[in-house]
Amino acid sequence: MTYSNQPLIKIENLSYAYPRRGSVLNAINFVLHRSERVVINGDNGAGKTTLLHLIVGLKKAKQGKIIGFGENCKTEKQFNQLRAKAGLLFQDPDDQLFCPTVLEDVMFGPLNLGFTKQQAIEKSLQTLKQLGMQGFESRITHQLSGGEKRMITLASVLVMEPQVLILDEPTNALDEKAKMRLLNVLQALPQAMIIISHDKIFSDQLATRQLNLQDGLLTEASNPSVAVA
């Protein structure tokens, strides 16, 4: 059980370097609490996506700690447990959707968790309905529009009932109508969030706190309109 005063995710002195690029993260610290929606800003190549991948164990830290839901994560088993509670939405929906139909994509996670097929179907239909995507169950995933794909990837994450959503450029390739629909959905969700977005209008409407990642350092953004926890 995660107690209300315990951080959901905590990063201590995390560093990472690529062989040819050198250091992208330099002993950074970060804490995510319940109900927070933290936006991380930074230039292309600053290491924002790298940071998200480190948090969920898709990359391995060279130095530092990643503490997820009270546990210092080191092994793949520990990161698997973290990923069950912290769902990552990839920048490109096509990297996340690989089944023939929408329903099969959304069911994939619950089936892997050991739910029966009927239970997985029921959970998936409920989640699609929550996102206004009922009626898409039999649609061919790769034939969907960009906005529709984004909502299905979100459904495939939300069906796992995560405590944290980690969103990498969620408005990537979306038109204004799709962006507004996604914004309205995210604003209504109870999960804590870590968000990377170059869409300042979008991220400003979501953020409870904003950070800047620059020169390997993560610092509080100096924006008086944004509440800092």
Residue 173: partners with Cβ closer than 8 Å, 6 or more residues away: 146
Q: Provide the pLDDT for residue 228.
A: 35
Residue with structure tokens 């619950």? 110
Q: Provide the pLDDT for residue 225.
A: 40
pTM: 0.89
Cα separation, 15 vs 84, in Å, equals: 24
Domain boundaries, the chain: 9-220
* pLDDT per residue of the chain (229 residues) written in tens, 0 to 9: 444 578 999 999 999 999 888 889 999 999 999 999 999 999 988 999 999 999 999 999 889 999 999 999 999 999 999 999 999 999 999 999 999 999 999 999 999 889 999 999 999 999 999 999 999 999 999 999 999 999 999 999 999 999 999 999 999 888 898 899 999 999 999 999 999 999 999 999 999 999 999 999 999 986 534 333 3
**Residue 160, SS3 per DSSP:** coil
Q: Provide the pLDDT for residue 224.
A: 39
CATH topology of domain 9-220: Rossmann fold (3.40.50)
Q: Is residue 112 within a helix (H) or strand (E), and if so which, with residue range?
A: helix 102-112
Cα separation, 4 vs 17, in Å, equals: 34
Task: Say if strands 63-68 and 37-41 run parallel, antiparallel, or are unpaired.
Answer: unpaired
